């Protein structure tokens, strides 16, 4: 079975794809930090961040529709958490708008918090999607490794990425085997079978983990983390990284 749901489009060729992973990690991380530190009233600032991101997205040739669809996976959760904030009465004085139904009121301070959380998380999510859809996962890991992220995290992420596909396949096969034997019926029975499947999956993964460890030890693994090799920064990387960071800092400083 073929899967590509994590870093789809990362195999394209574009100026953004050709940048070193470190450049992209650094620039986008900087964007997220600066965006989070911006006060919610600085509308122009957010517009600036959006424009920067949009330029990068256009340059990367990743379909805009794909990026927006991906962001829909996260944004509803953000809305779910924050949707009630505008209805909460603030401690201090503040303007409010009556909705006219059952005395419900919306407070402008709450509305500001809602906007604040929404816009910042949206920008952060867009950045992460841009990063993952312009960088193959292996290069991303190597970038993090070269940025001195502790090896254990790199290994964890690498194994997760490698085996999530194996597990998905395994679940698919189990489901198929189950359905082939006329599975169906009442909910209670349903839940029992699903529980058993989860248990089986856990045991299989556990045993697989042991086999993988044996395969690693046989090839001389001694507990040090896996090194994924080096990549070279080019002039373009330095230019883009300095350009992006200074532009962001400028935006942040210029707009109060």
Residue from 58, 166, 177, 254 touching other proteins (CB under 8 A): that is: 166
158 touching other proteins, by CB under 8 A: yes
What's the closest the beta carbon of residue 219 comes to other proteins, in angstroms?
A: 4
Tokens coding 29: 């991380």
Stretch that binds other proteins, among 84-92, 195-203, 224-232, 236-244 (CB under 8 A): 224-232
DSSP string, 69-131: HHHTTTHHHHHHHHTTGGGSPPSS---EEE-SSTT-EEEHHHHHHHHHHHHHHHHHHHHHHHH
Write the binding mask 167 to 206 for other proteins: x where contact by CB under 8 A, - elsewhere.
----------------------------------------
Number of Cβ within 10 Å of residue 136's Cβ equals 16
Closer residue to other proteins (CB): 66 or 165: 165
Q: Which residues pair with 106 in a beta bridge?
A: 97
The count of residues interacting with other proteins (CB under 8 A) is 30
Number of Cβ within 10 Å of residue 17's Cβ equals 20
Compute the distance between CA of residue 137 and CA of residue 160 in angstroms, rounded to an integer.
11
Closer residue to other proteins (CB): 42 or 138: 138
The DSSP secondary-structure symbol of 220 reads: T
Closer residue to other proteins (CB): 69 or 162: 162
Compute the distance between CA of residue 44 and CA of residue 220 in angstroms, rounded to an integer.
56
Closer residue to other proteins (CB): 216 or 239: 216
List contacts with other proteins (CB under 8 A).
Answer: 2-3, 136-138, 141, 158-159, 161-163, 165-166, 208, 211-212, 214-222, 226-230
């Amino acid at each position: 079975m073929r899967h590509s749901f994590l870093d789809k489009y990362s195999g394209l060729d574009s100026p953004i794809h050709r940048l070193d992973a470190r450049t992209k990690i650094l620039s986008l991380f900087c964007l997220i930090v600066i965006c989070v530190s911006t006060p919610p009233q600085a509308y122009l600032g957010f517009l600036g961040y959006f424009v920067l991101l949009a330029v990068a997205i256009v340059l990367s040739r990743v379909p805009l529709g794909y990026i927006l669809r991906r962001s829909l996976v996260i944004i509803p959760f953000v809305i779910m958490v924050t949707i009630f904030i505008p209805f909460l009465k603030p401690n201090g004085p503040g303007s409010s708008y009556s909705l006219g139904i059952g005395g419900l009121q919306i407070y402008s301070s709450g509305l500001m918090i809602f906007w604040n959380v929404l816009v910042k998380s949206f920008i952060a999510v867009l950045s992460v999607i841009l990063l993952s859809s312009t960088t193959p996962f292996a290069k991303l890991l190597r970038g993090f490794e070269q940025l001195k992220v502790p090896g254990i995290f790199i290994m964890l992420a690498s194994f997760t990425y490698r085996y999530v596909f194996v597990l998905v396949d395994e679940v698919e096969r189990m489901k198929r085997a189950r359905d082939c034997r006329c599975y169906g019926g009442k909910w209670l029975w349903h839940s029992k079978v699903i529980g058993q499947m989860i248990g089986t999956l856990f045991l299989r993964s556990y045993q697989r983990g042991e086999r993988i460890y044996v395969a690693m030890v046989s090839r001389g693994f001694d507990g040090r983390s896996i090194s994924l090799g080096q990549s070279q920064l080019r002039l373009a990387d330095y230019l883009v990284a300095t350009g992006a960071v200074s532009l962001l800092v400028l935006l942040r400083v210029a707009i109060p």
